[in-house]
Structure 1
């Protein structure tokens, strides 16, 4: 095992990213050895951070990301040798599942559940863009025939599935609001309570229920400390970025500036 590989795997050992890191190290080393490129499955933002860290440790390799449209959350990582002169593709397609929105309401969770019930690997699916009567599903291009043939129902609703046009997906426009608050400490439960607008006891309960993530990893303890640049995400409530820690007030509380994405 190379020194670089051992160092990276040791760094992520025992974390939620251990398996992802091992796979991405394999891809980076394959790209380096072949002097060509290797493409990952779709990664969440934490996986993308791991990919960037790995690429930074292989001087002859660069990494790029694409999720099929501007602003995508789940993206594929492409590790490429710096001297490779080709034009690799991210091999991303989009299918559209449509249903009668007059009689049934379906959302992201319903669509994802239907895909998982078909045994589809989550890594082969990118963002799911659901509206009142349809959902666009970003996916590995090789998955399109399988979707067209096998995705017949979402929940109790019958769906019609067709291949759609990536260019028709509008760039993601994120709305956010700035929150200025003072907190007793930089504990994750205090920050979550201030940013999402509920009590610390509620935040602690949500942490126990594994609803809150810090930098896309599960929060294990309500007393875990945060720092500038950290991102909290909560199921059903969106994301919260710690934009600035401004220091102590005269009353000994900590002043923070948070950015909540709606």
Structure 2
């Protein structure tokens, strides 16, 4: 049964349901309904739980990791890997923010985390439960500008990555480019303001403004590259 079918069945049956964390791709498929609440535990969350016919209260727990910095560098990969080594499913884990030393999980597995999560990369850690709503992730980005003849995907990506359109078209065919979290397979796709463009090995970009034009009528793009 697909996610949409599960949601529709719960709506039809008027059941109170708490889904685990959804990816941005899955969230984009959720139907509009005043019975649905989406929450990831803090304001800028990417992965979010879906609550149907119920509130999001007590559905997510946030933990802060404490460890000796001399022996352990916290990274998304080693935090996630250590959690999943406890046989915890990926959709029970929300966002992981290494710089803030925090991660989010469903409340259903919080006790297991408290009891079993003791090491990362063989370094002993301790956990502190905190109010995730107070977390303000520090997104680092560069503000940049590019000039393109049109807002075709291949034009925009070529300028942002300083490469050729031919190479960009190869990336598109290899399904290495996502727009708003979905794979794009057509170079002619039109990019618009607020679009999020993710390129494998090149990072994530957000298109902020496309309203300016040069004297020759080309489009001036103001965008951010996350670093």
Name the TM-score class by shorter chain: 0.7 to 0.9
Work out the CA distance in 2 between the residues paired with 1:118 and 1:217. Answer: 30
Work out the CA distance in 2 between the residues paired with 1:254 and 1:111. Answer: 42
State the 1:30 CA deviation: 1.1
TM-score normalized with structure 1 length: 0.69
TM-score normalized with structure 2 length: 0.78
Match of 1:126 in 2: 94
1:27·1:40 contact (CA, 8 Å) conserved in 2? no
- 1:31-73 deviation digits (Å, cap 9, x = unpaired): 3422x5322211222322222xx125xxxx4322211112112
CA separation of 1:218/1:87 partners in 2, compared to 1, >3 Å: closer, same or farther? Answer: closer
The reply to whether residue 75 of structure 1 matches residue 48 of structure 2 is: yes
Q: How does 1:85-104 map to 2 (within 5 A)?
A: 87=55, 89=57, 91-104=59-72
The reply to whether residue 63 of structure 1 matches residue 40 of structure 2 is: no
Match of 1:9 in 2: none
State the 1:256 CA deviation: 2.9
The reply to whether residue 39 of structure 1 matches residue 18 of structure 2 is: yes
Q: What do you get for the CA RMSD once the two structures are aligned?
A: 3.3
Any stretches of 5+ residues in structure 2 without a counterpart?
none
Match of 1:214 in 2: 179
Q: Which SS does the other structure have where 2:32 is aligned?
A: helix
Count of matched residue pairs: 225
Give 2:103's match in structure 1, choosing from 130, 137, 150.
137
Whose helix fraction is larger, Structure 1's or Structure 2's?
Answer: 1
State the 1:162 CA deviation: 2.4
Ranges of 4+ aligned residues in structure 1 off by more than 6 Å: none
State the 1:261 CA deviation: 4.5
Q: Which SS does the other structure have where 1:110 is aligned?
A: helix
